[in-house]
Structure 1
Amino acid sequence: MAVNCLSQILYKDLQQKSDEPVSQFLQPANSIAIELNATGHPLHPNEFNLHISRGLKSEFRDMSWPVCQLNVHNVFLHGKLNEELYLSQPQGFVDASHPTHDLGDLHFFLGIEAIPHSKGLLLSQSRYISDFLKKTGTVDCKPDKTPMATTQKQSAEGGAPMSDPTLYRSVVGALQYATLTLSDDSFAVNHASQFMHAPTEVNWQLVKRILRYLKSTCTSGLLLEHSSSRSLQAVSYADWAGDGFDRKSTRGFAIFLGPNLISWTSCKQHIVARSSTKAEYKALADASAELVWLESLFRELGYPLSSAPVL
């Protein structure tokens, strides 16, 4: 799993800047994957990739290491086989004369554009968002300054059902990917995701509001700045009983590595909190678990934090 997560990117350490070989960085990745599977961390593999991507891009930009992209050809077999199967090794697997394809400096990773910046590295999804707006027919829509109205109350009940619920699910699913570099629309997208089972025309209006907001922010991105700080700080929040239908609270957190935002979330809590204190403590517990995991991740990669995480 770890090899698959890191196979598309290679961080080269220039010999004049460090005496540590690259293998010392790549080797611990396998042990991380084993521990991750053993502990049953709830992250989806794609989220695991992005946590590593944002965190390590921030760390290596601080060290002024060039970030290069490497294409590794993989073969996956799915399903059960009742017969014996023999495979020959692909070219380059054991033959040093056939190296893997070096794609040069990093430009795209998981559909995210990496743009060099005077302050560091800018992660942008402007191309993805532009193509998405064209696909949904909203490329010429009027931009909106906010992704959601604060006074608008959405509910699973009320409003005429959508004639094409598949369209709603498809658009909202694509919107979730747009939150990888735009954290400020996470709450609105998560809210829209709660009505995927039976969307109504009222819910669809919320989705169109998010699309108009993306229109105004499609050129924005996530800037990973150069910084000597190697400390984790987190902030969390809880909206007690914010959903008037099921009375569940919404929790969220944002985690920074130095000045750089590397992890965030906004979603409903699984339980109904009887008090605002319980909702806030649950949000703190979730943020603490994420901090502990990220601290362990950097330690096992050989880059421990300079101080204890702060929440």
Structure 2
Amino acid sequence: MSDLTLRFKGQKNDVVQGVNLRVRRGEVLCVVGESGCGKSVTSMAIMGLLPPNSAQISSGKMRISSDEWDLVTDRLPAELRGNKIAMIFQEPMTSLNPAFRIGNQIAEVVQRHQGGTRAASLDRAEEMLQRVGIANPGQRLREYPHQLSGGMRQRVMIAMALANEPQILIADEPTTALDVTIQAQILDLIADLRDETGMGTIMITHDLGVVAEIADTVAVMYGGQVVEQGPVEEVFRNPQHPYTIGLMSAMPRLDKPGERLAIVPGTVPTISNMPDGCRFRTRCAFATSYCSKRPSLSDIAPDHSVACHYAPLEAHVRVSA
């Protein structure tokens, strides 16, 4: 996806501005940032799920393999959603229909895109439940969402998303509502299925621990903009945007128990109060009047880009001893 810019009707500022995301086959791209930074809106725009009467896209292109769409004039074709590109949502209980059995919901996705008989699609549904590690899949097919635990419902959503073997999977904070043990199981499952199928995965999260565990590349978003992007090892080793540095400083460390955590002062501004130029400048310790001009996302190392006038920081910012 390239140069995605959109705003909601009645707003004077873009809620997402000039966002470029790329995920290769077999790669995991993690999109990270605080709540309100535009991560989920970006994923919904990619899927073509934003209501056209309220979300106004002014630029953006989407490419899957050799196929390309102009998001200003075209919506992602319905036959591609759930087929070439699929999405796992944050809360499976709001995504699964409580009135239908699990098997019927997965089978509907299969029939919608692959056709075939109802019996064949139910066989595929049972196969997928087994593939995502659900015990007694034949029994679970006949159960309703409320009869399953949160972790099992999330596994059902993964089974549904992968039933048609998509090229790209978008996972929007798929472990947020789960306990730590189940979170680890779900992340391991997604990683295993990625390795098995070769799909590209876009993982949306606010948890840098998840990023460190599963990502190949990372894009840090703030105020609807990508402010830093690159290979996860490079970004973690050498963070260059002040916001990225703030997020990483706020992570608890096992080697320093009891140490007071750093904070990023302030909060993400609302879209109606978004500052001009660098949107992080009202919270940034390094901001100057020059930051009222929007910085471009520029390379500071191979595949490592930063949207900051003073990157690399060590070349521009003098730190007192």
Instruction: Return the TM-score normalized by structure 2.
Output: 0.28
Structure index of larger Rg: 1
